[in-house]
């Protein structure tokens, strides 16, 4: 009896299996690399053979690629990331008051009161200060992203970096490098700039109360945690499965959905071996000329995305809009 949760994000695709007590029995973190279908298949390949299809009692998807993933796997619930993160955090600790979540493309703040989301905010149209920016800077400095945070821990005096915009931050960093500042001081300065930016932008006007959970891929960066603690003046908790919180939430929501509906729609692990093809075309139906993506499974169309009017997506939407109506 396992619950499967899949979080298809911009940078990573995360998959968890929870047992009936909601303990994590399996977790996989795979880079999406712009191909959500492949990423989901790749993660299924890691489970195929070790688990049977009948072991999965419920399956849920979340993340910006949640719709496409739900069509592939047959999800019982398709939920936005905010609700998913909140559900996962509350399951772990009922006393969480604030969630700071920084992913690849998004940063969010979620305020929880009385066990429900009472307020949230996300970054603006611009993705400065999120994981993809840190990724890019690590790459530019030639440091593996996994070591990026540790590298900053050696900093003595963090250098001040402009944090409003990724482009400003990058040019400021380059100037500081050229002036000969120590690399760890610059990286710590960058972390502090990102935190400052986060608190002034996403966290603006928010009543950030402890206990604070720091979730998402960027929480793996120890210097970001320290920078948050310095700025807020109290401890910030990074949960053990911080990268997986979205998928854990999706798995829990899926369990609830199946309890209500009585059965799962999960299509099985054989997905890994199927041949999926995505074909894009421009719909000529009206002047909008929507770019529609059509997904084929072994030559059979299973879903369409990207149209505004629903002419294409509604052909398959029936099943997952029901799945989403939890």
Question: Given the rule CB under 8 A, which residues bind other proteins?
Answer: 64, 79-83, 113-114, 116-125, 201-202, 205, 286-290, 308, 321
φ/ψ of 156, rounded to 5, equals: -95, -60
Detail the DSSP E strand segments found in the chain.
2-8, 12-18, 24-31, 56-62, 77-78, 98-102, 107-113, 116-122, 212-215, 236-237, 276-282, 291-297, 300-305
Name the minimum Å distance from CB 235 to other proteins. Answer: 26
Name the minimum Å distance from CB 191 to other proteins. Answer: 23
Nearer to other proteins, 50 or 308 (CB): 308
Task: Please tell me the distance from the alpha carbon of residue 63 to that of residue 166, in angstroms, as a whole number.
Answer: 23
Name the minimum Å distance from CB 139 to other proteins. Answer: 24
Task: Please tell me the distance from the alpha carbon of residue 128 to that of residue 192, in angstroms, as a whole number.
Answer: 14
Name the minimum Å distance from CB 204 to other proteins. Answer: 8
Nearer to other proteins, 160 or 308 (CB): 308
User: Where would I find the H helices in 46-161?
Assistant: 66-73, 81-92, 131-141, 145-153
Name the minimum Å distance from CB 122 to other proteins. Answer: 5
Nearer to other proteins, 113 or 279 (CB): 113
Nearer to other proteins, 127 or 272 (CB): 127
Task: Please tell me the distance from the alpha carbon of residue 172 to that of residue 192, in angstroms, as a whole number.
Answer: 14
Nearer to other proteins, 81 or 172 (CB): 81
Q: How far separated are the first and last CA of the chain, in Å rounded?
A: 21
Name the minimum Å distance from CB 68 to other proteins. Answer: 10
Nearer to other proteins, 205 or 262 (CB): 205
Asked if residues 8 and 32 have their Cβ atoms less than 8 Å apart, the reply is yes
């Amino acid at each position: 009896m396992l619950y499967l949760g899949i979080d298809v994000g911009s940078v990573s695709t995360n998959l968890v299996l929870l047992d009936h007590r909601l303990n994590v029995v399996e977790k996989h973190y795979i880079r999406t690399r712009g191909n959500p279908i492949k990423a989901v298949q790749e993660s299924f390949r890691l489970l195929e053979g070790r688990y049977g299809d009948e072991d999965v009692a419920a399956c849920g998807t979340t993340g910006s690629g949640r719709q496409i993933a739900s069509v592939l796997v047959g999800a019982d619930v398709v939920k936005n990331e905010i609700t998913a993160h909140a559900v996962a955090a509350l399951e772990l600790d009922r006393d969480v008051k604030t969630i700071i979540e920084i992913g690849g493309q998004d940063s969010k703040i979620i305020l929880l009161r009385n066990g429900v989301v009472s307020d949230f905010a996300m970054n603006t149209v611009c993705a400065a200060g999120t994981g993809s920016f840190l990724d890019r800077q690590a790459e530019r400095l030639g440091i593996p992203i996994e070591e990026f945070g540790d590298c900053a821990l050696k900093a003595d005096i963090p250098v001040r970096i402009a944090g409003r915009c990724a482009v400003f931050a990058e040019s400021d960093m380059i100037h500081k490098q050229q002036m000969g500042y120590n690399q760890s001081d610059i990286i710590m300065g960058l972390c502090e700039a990102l935190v400052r930016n986060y608190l002034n932008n996403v966290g603006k006007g928010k009543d950030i109360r402890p206990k604070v959970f720091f979730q998402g891929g960027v929480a793996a960066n120890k210097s970001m945690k320290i920078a948050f603690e310095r700025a807020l003046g109290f401890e910030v908790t990074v949960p053990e499965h911080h990268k997986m919180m979205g998928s854990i939430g999706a798995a829990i929501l899926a369990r609830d959905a199946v309890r209500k509906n009585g059965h799962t729609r999960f299509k099985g692990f054989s997905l890994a071996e199927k041949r999926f093809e995505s074909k894009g075309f421009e719909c000529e139906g009206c002047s909008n000329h929507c770019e529609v993506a059509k997904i084929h499974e072994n030559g059979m169309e299973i879903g369409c995305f990207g149209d505004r009017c629903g002419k294409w997506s509604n052909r398959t939407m029936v099943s997952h809009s029901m799945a989403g109506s939890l």
